[in-house]
Amino acid sequence: MKKNILVLCTGNSCRSQIAEGYLRHFAKEKATIYSAGIETHGVNPKAIATMQEDNIDISSQTSNHVDEYSNVAFDFVITVCDNAKEHCPFFPTKAKKFHYNFPDPAKAIGTEKKIREKFREVRQQIKTFCEQFVINEL
């Protein structure tokens, strides 16, 4: 049976978008993946570029507010930042909850090279988490 997975972050622009891309990649037909934020900031162009480096296209993903999915019965809810975990709305569901506070690459400062490196570092952390999640939970 196909599972419904929600990845929740503050702005649904970087970390949750990257996780959505990797979960789709690793879960394939085992799950339907959604991502949302407690706010919406649009998909970060650097997140799109960073994922393209790993041959995953997230350019068609959208930044969605968590309220848009109030009618979806989720099997899993994954929060990828402390702010989203603390402010996560109540879901009337039996979803199993997971949390991992990934650093926000959008807050990286410095040269363009340093910022790209931070995006790649966080991308790798999220990739590892998503791959293990699919292996262990699906």
pLDDT number for residue 70: 86
Catalytic residue check, 81: yes
**How many domains does the structure of the chain reveal?**
1
pLDDT number for residue 91: 58
Q: Which of 5, 8, 9, 27 is the catalytic position? A: 9
Using 50 as the pLDDT threshold, list the residues of the chain that sit under it: none
Q: How many C-beta atoms surround the C-beta of residue 29 within 10 A?
A: 6
Question: Rounded to two decimals, what is the model's pTM?
Answer: 0.94
Q: Which of 72, 88, 115, 138 is the catalytic position? A: 88
pLDDT digits (tens, 9 = 90+) for 53-66: 999 999 999 999 99
pLDDT digits (tens, 9 = 90+) for 65-91: 999 998 999 999 999 987 766 666 555
pLDDT number for residue 82: 77
Across the strands, what pairs with 76? Answer: 5, 96
Cα gap 127→79, rounded to integer Å: 15
pLDDT number for residue 47: 97
* CATH at 40: 3.40.50.2300
pLDDT number for residue 1: 87
Q: Which of 5, 19, 33, 81 is the catalytic position? A: 81
pLDDT number for residue 90: 57
**Which domain, by its residues, includes 109?**
3-137
Catalytic residue check, 14: no
Catalytic residue check, 88: yes
Cα gap 35→42, rounded to integer Å: 12
